[in-house]
């Protein structure tokens, strides 16, 4: 987190444990504070101050039984103290009415959740799609600006400016802090689904030097997807996203071994969670029955094909390529084209796939370099493969992925 901590504070005994708990609880804390004080900046600053207080106290007293509650209470007190010191409490609340829901906190069925409210606030159509995603990753996912910039393939300064502008736009547009009415849900849904997908992606392949997998992010994405499913049970794209997240989550424990990323084809399929796979496959079949395909439904179907095969050799690659051909209709991005090329390599060989990969404008995207490296390796072009591995290692922000790529490079003669 961007907490403004000094190096000495970060070196305190137990600081790593405090940082881990804070990252796990950040979205819950900020969402609660936004509802209470109606101001995103106040919520973020108070949460940061609560982290500093935890770093000072917890190494001495130990982590409290309810760390999230402790952080929320402490942050709330710090916010009150700050507003009192400034002598502008009433003015602050008036200025923050654009996000403050002044109705009583009464039951609202399946959407009685501060984080879901904040998610829809961040995904208001007044914001550009990129800004919606970035702001939500920051506030709910707890990602740093650097981590979000990595996901968007832009400089950190650019991402910082984008997030700051998004907050100002929320203020200028008087965006309310609440789940929208049913008639307003469709125009928000696409951004919300994309945000949850990116939060899960960061969880499965985390940036930074910490754990290569952040289970708290994958768990939160699934939890919110289930909430959306209850809110919109007839929307196939919601079911598709939930199916996709469940099928990815089923493989989480098999993704890393001995500190190294394990590619899908090398994973121990006996270690996959069969309960999650069954639920995900059932949702995919439900989506197919609706006859209204969309981006996340197709991605879920791709994962269903992979996870239905008893072994990597049994994968129906022709069906995977066909699904990617369909996906291009909904998402004609170079990233989708890259993933399609990986499947094409299994059908038509690495030379055909490499020709597809070479023309993609993804030189700043580390999976592009990693894919080139593997294809060059299969073609026996070891010197070029080594260079591609070096580029992929330098561009990757995940420790397990770097370890895997380094091993693969080291195996080349």
Q: Which three-class secondary structure state does DSSP give residue 200? A: helix
H/E run at residue 216? helix 215-231
Question: Is the pLDDT assigned to residue 157 strictly greater than 60?
Answer: yes
The structural domains of the chain, with segments of one domain joined by +, span 1-96, 104-214
- Work out the pLDDT band at 145, boundaries 50, 70, 90: confident
Q: What is the pLDDT of residue 400?
A: 92
Give dist(CA 86, CA 233) in Å, integer.
46
Q: What is the pLDDT of residue 154?
A: 82
CB neighbour list of residue 401: distance below 8 Å, 6 or more residues apart: 205, 212, 261, 366, 370
- Work out the pLDDT band at 385, boundaries 50, 70, 90: very high
CB neighbour list of residue 84: distance below 8 Å, 6 or more residues apart: none
pLDDT, tens only, 341-376:
999 999 999 999 999 999 999 998 999 999 999 999
- Work out the pLDDT band at 397, boundaries 50, 70, 90: confident
- Per the rule left: phi > 0, alpha: psi between -120 and 50, beta: everything else, 175 is beta
Give dist(CA 324, CA 340) in Å, integer.
6
Q: What is the pLDDT of residue 7?
A: 40
Q: What is the pLDDT of residue 92?
A: 55
- Work out the pLDDT band at 327, boundaries 50, 70, 90: very high
Give dist(CA 244, CA 250) in Å, integer.
10
pTM of the predicted model as reported, rounded to 2 decimal places: 0.74
Task: For residue 317, give the nearest of 350, 345, 338, 297 by alpha carbon.
Answer: 345
Task: For residue 265, give the nearest of 197, 209, 207, 345 by alpha carbon.
Answer: 345
- Measured N-to-C along each axis, helices 185-204 and 215-231 cross at an angle, to the nearest 10 degrees, of 160
Instruction: Report the relative pairing of strands 256-257 and 260-261 from DSSP bridges.
Output: antiparallel
Q: What is the pLDDT of residue 37?
A: 81
Contact between residue 159 and residue 150 where contact means Cβ atoms under 8 Å apart: no
Average pLDDT over residues 51-64: 85
Average pLDDT over residues 41-52: 87
pLDDT, tens only, 185-209:
777 788 889 888 988 887 887 766 6
- Of residues 90 and 131, more confidently modeled: 131
- Work out the pLDDT band at 242, boundaries 50, 70, 90: very high
Share of the chain above pLDDT 90, in %: 44
Question: Is the pLDDT assigned to residue 98 strictly greater than 60?
Answer: no
Q: Which two tokens stand for residue 128?
A: 């550009």
Average pLDDT over residues 17-44: 81
- Work out the pLDDT band at 83, boundaries 50, 70, 90: confident
Average pLDDT, the chain: 84
- Work out the pLDDT band at 210, boundaries 50, 70, 90: low
- How far is C-alpha 88 from the geometric centre of its chain's CA atoms? 36
Q: Which three-class secondary structure state does DSSP give residue 257? A: strand
Output phi, psi for 55, to 5 deg.
-65, -30
Give dist(CA 222, CA 124) in Å, integer.
21
């Amino acid at each position: 987190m961007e907490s403004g901590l000094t190096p000495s504070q970060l070196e305190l005994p137990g600081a790593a444990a405090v940082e881990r708990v804070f990252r796990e609880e950040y979205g819950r804390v900020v969402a609660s504070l936004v509802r209470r004080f109606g101001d995103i900046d106040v919520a973020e600053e108070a949460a940061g101050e609560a982290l500093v207080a935890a770093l000072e106290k917890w190494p001495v007293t130990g982590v409290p039984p309810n760390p999230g509650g402790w952080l929320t209470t402490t942050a709330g007190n710090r916010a009150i103290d700050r507003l009192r010191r400034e002598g502008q409490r009433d003015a602050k609340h008036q200025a923050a009415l654009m996000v403050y829901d002044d109705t009583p906190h009464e039951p609202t069925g399946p959407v009685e959740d501060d984080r879901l409210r904040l998610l829809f606030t961040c995904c208001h159509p007044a914001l550009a799609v990129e800004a919606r995603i970035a702001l939500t990753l920051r506030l709910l996912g707890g990602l740093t600006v650097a981590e979000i910039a990595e996901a968007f393939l832009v400089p950190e300064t650019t991402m910082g400016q984008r997030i700051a502008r998004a907050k100002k736009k929320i203020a200028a547009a008087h965006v309310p802090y609440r789940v929208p009415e049913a008639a307003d849900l469709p125009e928000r849904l696409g951004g919300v689904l994309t945000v949850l997908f990116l939060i899960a992606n960061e969880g499965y392949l985390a940036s930074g030097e910490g754990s290569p997998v952040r289970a708290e992010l994958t768990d939160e994405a699934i939890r919110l997807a289930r909430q959306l499913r209850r809110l919109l049970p007839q929307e196939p794209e919601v079911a598709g996203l939930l199916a996709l997240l469940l099928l990815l989550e089923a493989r989480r424990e098999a993704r890393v071994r001995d500190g190294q990323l394990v590619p899908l084809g090398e994973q121990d399929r006996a270690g996959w969670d069969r309960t999650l796979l069954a639920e995900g496959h059932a949702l995919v079949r439900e989506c197919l029955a609706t006859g209204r395909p969309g981006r996340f439904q197709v991605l879920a179907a791709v994962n269903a094909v992979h996870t239905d095969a008893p072994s990597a050799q049994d994968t129906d690659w022709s069906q995977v390529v066909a699904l990617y051909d369909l996906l291009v209709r909904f998402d004609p991005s170079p990233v989708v084209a890259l993933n399609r090329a990986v499947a094409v390599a299994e059908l038509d060989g690495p030379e055909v796939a490499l020709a597809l990969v070479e023309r993609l404008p993804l030189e700043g995207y580390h999976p592009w370099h990693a894919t080139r490296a593997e294809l060059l390796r299969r073609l026996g072009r070891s010197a070029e493969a080594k260079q591609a591995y070096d580029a992929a290692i330098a561009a990757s922000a995940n420790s397990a992925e770097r370890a895997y790529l380094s091993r693969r490079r080291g195996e080349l003669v």
